[in-house]
Amino acid sequence: MQWTTARKQAISLRYGLLALNVFGAYAATDVLSQIREKMAGNLAQVPNYTCTETIERSEKQSPRKKFQPLDKVRLEVALVGGRELLSWPGAGKFEERDLGDFVSGGTTASGDYALHAQTIFRTNKPTFRAAGEENLDGKRAVRFEYDVVLAKSEFLVRTGDKEARVPYHGSFWADPATLDLIRLDILVDAAPRELDVARASTEIRYRQVKVGQSDFLLPRVVDLVLQRNDGGERRNRTEFADCRQYVGESVIIFDDPDLAAGILKGPPQEIELPAGLEFETQLTGAINFKTAVVGDPVNARAQGAAKKDGKILIPKGAVFHGRIRQMLQHGDYALVGIEIFEVEFENKKAALLCQLRSAGPIPGVGTRSLSLVPQTEPNGIGAMIAQTVRIGMLPNGFRMIWSTLPKSK
């Protein structure tokens, strides 16, 4: 039954909860149907949208130890046409790739943004049972449990080069007055042993978010805890912010002469640069070890012209675009990984795959406080170890020398 006003929903559900004690399973089924119907409607009507997600990753090696922070990752995630897409902040291009393709090491997960809820509230894959009314964070909530058996599951668990489809179960809680979903839990505890996953639990908290002209229930925060067979654990806490409608539009502005001139020149010409081209850059902004996160943009300028066979291929002052790909801190040391992926100059641009040849020095800091990490494969990430007790940041003007690598085909 479709309720058209919040008042009718509240009256209906209060009646349903009263009847739950009298008529048992019949009333529970009615309440469940109303909650699923409302959430399914929310999922069906929400427009294509995107949010910024920030993931804090931590781990502990044994049950007796405390969680230690690993890193913090920031990405853009979009729900477009029922698919979850990812992008680096500011990249302007979303891709249907696993989170593990964007960040190295640690634990990654997908589906938390919308796909788990789509399965629970819009398909016939789960079976449900009522668990009664509970106090959740000081407020009344109705709880239902669910199971998705292996034959109906599309839940994949992947570790390294191994993966398996697994059954899962869990619970969800809803507001008894509004029918709004408050929390959704997903639990995996029957993964094949070779995956080294004893238990994986995900808790998704929801809130009303304005997207376009209307409010919709969207994830606010997601907590994932993965326990290995030896008792060690990894934890990810993901927060979503700045959610907005995902649209494509063109804007022409005539009151800015420089901007108008740029528009009239058209898009930059894409060129290719040869492998083995060496160039020196200087950061145009500091990288603070305490506040920087994986995914943050990095910009630099060419300190001098890069030449090959006497021809200038990158002029002095060319602008390089990059991002932080690693930011791990342990004790008094930090591992910083930088990727330079593009250079722009004279209405031209070129995609880059680079290797970091040298970096620094930092004035007033000993040479042993900063050292490069050898690059074992051409992944385009230049990594360095910094002694944080002496170096709090890579300063504005920090010098790095790179060379281009052959691009994989």
Residues 243 and 200: their CA atoms lie apart, in Å, by 27
Residue 281: strand, helix, or coil: strand
- The neighbouring-strand residues paired with 323 are 297, 339
Tokens of 113: 């943004």
pLDDT over 70 at 252, yes or no: no
| Choice among 32-36, 59-63, 151-155, 253-257 with the minimum mean pLDDT | 253-257
- Backbone phi, then psi, for 165, in 5-degree steps? -80, 135
Q: What confidence score (pLDDT) does residue 351 get?
A: 94
Of residues 346 and 27, which shows the higher confidence score? 346
Q: Under a CB-based contact definition with an 8 Å cutoff, are residues 219 and 239 in contact? A: no
Domain range 273-404, CATH architecture: Beta Barrel (2.40)
Q: Give the span between the Cα atoms of 294 and 92, in whole angstroms.
A: 17
Q: Is the pLDDT of residue 223 over 50?
A: yes
Cβ neighbors of 221 (< 8 A, separation 6 or more) are 204, 205, 237, 238, 239, 240
Report the alpha-carbon distance of residue 188 to residue 316 in Å, rounded: 55
What is the C-alpha to C-alpha distance for residues 189 and 149, in angstroms, rounded to an integer? 12
The residues near 397 (Cβ < 8 Å, ≥ 6 apart) are: 282, 283
pLDDT score, position 259: 46
Mean pLDDT is highest, among 28-37, 165-174, 379-388, for 165-174
Q: Where in the chain is the domain with CATH 2.50.20?
A: 7-245
pLDDT at 397 over 90: yes
**pTM above 0.85?**
no
The pLDDT score that the predictor gives to residue 226 is: 92
Beta bridge partners, 190, equal none
Specify the domain boundaries for CATH 2.40.128 within the chain: 273-404
Q: What angle do CA 218, 153, 43 make, to 5 degrees?
A: 25
Tokens of 388: 């944080």
> Is pLDDT at 255 greater than 90 in this prediction?
no
Judged against a pLDDT cut of 90, whether residue 235 lies above it is answered with: yes
- Two tokens, residue 253: 């502005």
Query: Do 75 and 113 meet the contact criterion of CB atoms below 8 Å apart?
Result: no
CA distance 293 to 270: 29
Residue 28 to residue 16: CA distance in whole angstroms: 8
Q: What secondary structure does DSSP assign to 151-187, as a single string? A: GG---EEEETTEEEE--EEEEEEE-TTT--EEEEEEE
3-state secondary structure of 199: strand
Mean pLDDT of 91-109: 69
**Integer Cα distance of 69 and 7 in angstroms:** 46
User: For 270-286, what is each residue's pLDDT tens digit?
Assistant: 999 999 999 999 999 99
Express each pLDDT in 132-190 by its tens digit: 999 999 999 999 999 999 999 988 887 777 888 999 999 999 999 999 999 999 999 99
CB atoms within 10 A of CB 281: 29
Helix, strand and coil percent figures for the chain, each rounded to 5: 15, 45, 35
Q: Cis peptide before 378, with omega less than 30 degrees from 0?
A: no
User: How confident is the model at residue 389, as a pLDDT?
Assistant: 80
What's the token pair of residue 408? 């994989």
Tell me how far apart the alpha carbons of residues 252 and 321 are, in angstroms, rounded to a whole number. Answer: 25
Mean pLDDT of the chain: 84
pLDDT, position 116: 87
91-95: Cβ within 8 A, 24+ apart: 94/50
> Which letter does DSSP use for residue 114 in this model?
T
Amino acid at 301: R
pLDDT tens digits for range 78-88 = 888 777 888 89
* pLDDT value at residue 302: 97
Predicted local distance difference test score (pLDDT) of residue 162: 82
Give the percent of the chain with pLDDT over 90: 56
pLDDT band, residue 36 (cuts 50/70/90) = very high
Residue ranges of alpha helices (H) inside 216-356 are: 257-265
Average pLDDT over residues 363-367: 79
Which CATH number describes the domain made up of 7-245?
Answer: 2.50.20
The confidence score (pLDDT) of residue 49 equals 87
Res. 33: pLDDT tops 90: yes
Which of 90-94, 160-164, 359-363 has the highest mean predicted lDDT (pLDDT)? 359-363
| Residue scoring higher pLDDT (244 or 4) | 244
Q: Residues of 58-91 as b/e, b for ≥16 C-beta within 10 angstroms? A: bbeeeeeeeeeebbbbbbbbbbeeeebbbbbbeb
Q: Reduced to 3 states, what is the DSSP secondary structure of residue 395?
A: coil
